[in-house]
Structure 1
């Protein structure tokens, strides 16, 4: 359903209910049942910003329903392992999860569009596409085949390119590099000779320390500092070209979601939008201080070279073409998002880019 018409309809309905409340309180009470859901996160509580987005969403829902709709949030592993969160919702083990859609790339690469794809959209563009470009409707059409309805519920913004034990200056340097990176990004790295590794968050540091892997990507300064990667892999690369704006989703079991009163479904959608914005604001506040701290403790910032970025862009384009040729669901979402990407970057390079670039120059000159 279109986001604006859905919310408008709900607002009208809520207003009518409020007006009727003085005349028919018992009927209104019947329309607002007490409901408790369980939500399993893909993340540990220690990653407070990512994990916290689910709690923020649940708090808003609780507040908007006068405590009658309660969503209990569980960390990854408390009910099911983090990477099985979506499956638990799909099969009805729990009613909801908070996860990164691209974790399920192995089931169908279309899942990647819910989070981020290489050289795709930044956070603001993603929100424009999700909310006004029909992106969320397209994804829910796809998610529906897994008995799911989902809404964006958090974003990290453009991520960093990861931590490397040695410097990477040319495409040849990527050959044989064992890197913890999943999904679409791993597929592109593999095409350039890298060796993608799937490793759970808690196992990354010891693998990096022992040399079992040569590099890892995670999120950005705030979360990366918590995990201590700088102690064993000092070269901190940017940008994370596979995640220009990594979005998290709250996913709901269709049977449970459709059984909710309409007002509760509206509360869920509104709460997800609030948490989506809140998480990005939180990271934008926390990352600058964390970056300064990392650099003070020996992290060495390095940009990926133009040669590497060009090669990765070309490799990603080849992977897109191959998947589009065999996966109709993927192509349908790809065509929509990439058509918007072209126009969105045309607009962004005008006022936004030039204003930001000027201000960044002032920062480098020490004028701010």
Structure 2
């Protein structure tokens, strides 16, 4: 390195060294640690789920395992369940800040921060799983999702699906709208707001706290996912009435969040592996959920003494009308929320007639 007569670095070299130092610091913040001499990388994956929870917990671990296998061990994903590194509902901020490179969660948890985020898990009376995937992949949903999360330095993708949800566990039977008044219920997303307008009291709690809250009386009712995950959570031990349909979540898309700088820093082939591992889990998890939900529903009814009931027609009608009002209001939040609302509604209008002709009529014919 050359110097002037006073022994100081020449300005050009000083600037070069400074620039290189800044570049190295920025990449260190964005990129995962690289094991010296091995060319391997390790990422931290934080989740909103108890470890190995049937459904999303299993999905998160499977994605981590698949990435390691597909990458030939070049990228290792170290999974931290809810509360092990950050709280269940702290994963969004953790990945945004670079505390972890990746998260597995659900977009409706960010409703308070980003109201339109709920569209990317499920909205009341919205799209079924196959319709939702179609909207994201074919109807412009992914581009809108990317734009929504860009200010936080995040890249979101679909990563698993728990299928059509159930309406929830109730300690007492719902015979009409009056039974919703004062009902303390855990129901995230826009469904909770719909319930609030019909007289209920929504309570926001992470998944790991739901059983104790239901058992202690903090909650009178809770929804979570479907029979497979719900039975594993033990809700049937303290509430024996299980309602359907899950009007608030007709779809159960899991959300993988990536620190975008970390994702972009990966070699092209590893980046493709990470994204394809998430995409592959959509079909795998949906098939698994449908299969396991069917078996668990039978066990809940035959072995656990659970009564499965439909919401009364009066309640469903009120839920449908109020949901339409709540959804329309989301479009007024900001211009991007309006575009997301319009895109989602357009997808529903396009897909619903085909689903009716192809699926509803077939199922009616199959069932006789």
Q: What is the CA distance between 1:211 and its match in structure 2? A: 2.5
CA distance, structure 2, for counterparts of residue 270 and residue 231 of structure 1: 39
CA contact (8 A) 1:234 1:300 kept: yes
Alignment equivalent of 1:247, drawn from 236, 244, 253: 253
Q: Does 1:323 align with 2:322?
A: no
Other structure's SS at 1:343 match: helix
Alignment equivalent of 2:135, drawn from 129, 136, 141: 129
Q: What is the CA distance between 1:351 and its match in structure 2? A: 2.1
CA distance, structure 2, for counterparts of residue 230 and residue 330 of structure 1: 38
Q: What is the CA distance between 1:171 and its match in structure 2? A: 1.7
1:6-60 deviation digits (Å, cap 9, x = unpaired): xxxxxxxxxxxxxxxxxxxxxxxxxx94221111011111413311212222222
CA distance, structure 2, for counterparts of residue 63 and residue 46 of structure 1: 19
Q: Does 1:56 align with 2:78?
A: no
CA contact (8 A) 2:195 2:202 kept: yes
Match of 1:233 in 2: 239
Q: What is the CA distance between 1:360 and its match in structure 2? A: 3.6
Bigger drift between 312-321 and 46-55 goes to 46-55
Q: Does 1:38 align with 2:31?
A: no
CA contact (8 A) 2:122 2:252 kept: yes
Alignment equivalent of 1:160, drawn from 161, 166, 180: 166
Alignment equivalent of 1:83, drawn from 76, 86, 89: 89
CA contact (8 A) 2:167 2:223 kept: yes
Alignment equivalent of 1:307, drawn from 314, 318, 326: 314
Other structure's SS at 2:329 match: helix
**Larger CA Rg, structure 1 vs 2:** 2
Match of 1:175 in 2: 181
Other structure's SS at 1:302 match: strand
Bigger drift between 167-176 and 197-206 goes to 197-206
Match of 1:365 in 2: none
CA distance, structure 2, for counterparts of residue 106 and residue 311 of structure 1: 24
Alignment equivalent of 1:145, drawn from 145, 148, 151: 151
CA contact (8 A) 2:330 2:341 kept: no
Q: What is the CA distance between 1:183 and its match in structure 2? A: 2.4
CA distance, structure 2, for counterparts of residue 202 and residue 259 of structure 1: 34
1:315-359 deviation digits (Å, cap 9, x = unpaired): 111112222123222111111111010121100011211222233
CA distance, structure 2, for counterparts of residue 82 and residue 202 of structure 1: 8
TM-score normalised by L of structure 2: 0.86
CA distance, structure 2, for counterparts of residue 84 and residue 208 of structure 1: 23
The number of residue pairs the alignment matches comes to 330
Alignment equivalent of 1:286, drawn from 283, 292, 295: 292
Match of 1:355 in 2: 362
Alignment equivalent of 1:276, drawn from 282, 290, 305: 282
Other structure's SS at 1:70 match: strand
Other structure's SS at 2:83 match: coil
Other structure's SS at 1:349 match: helix
CA distance, structure 2, for counterparts of residue 117 and residue 181 of structure 1: 12
Bigger drift between 197-206 and 292-301 goes to 197-206
Q: Does 1:111 align with 2:117?
A: yes
CA distance, structure 1, for counterparts of residue 363 and residue 257 of structure 2: 35
CA distance, structure 2, for counterparts of residue 51 and residue 202 of structure 1: 12
Where structure 1 has 5 or more consecutive residues not aligned to the other structure, the ranges are: 1-31, 362-368
Q: Does 1:218 align with 2:224?
A: yes
CA distance, structure 2, for counterparts of residue 66 and residue 99 of structure 1: 26
1:275-327 deviation digits (Å, cap 9, x = unpaired): 11111111111111111111122100110122212211211111122221232
* Segments ≥4 residues shifted beyond 6 Å: none
CA contact (8 A) 1:106 1:183 kept: no
Match of 1:25 in 2: none
Q: Does 1:93 align with 2:83?
A: no
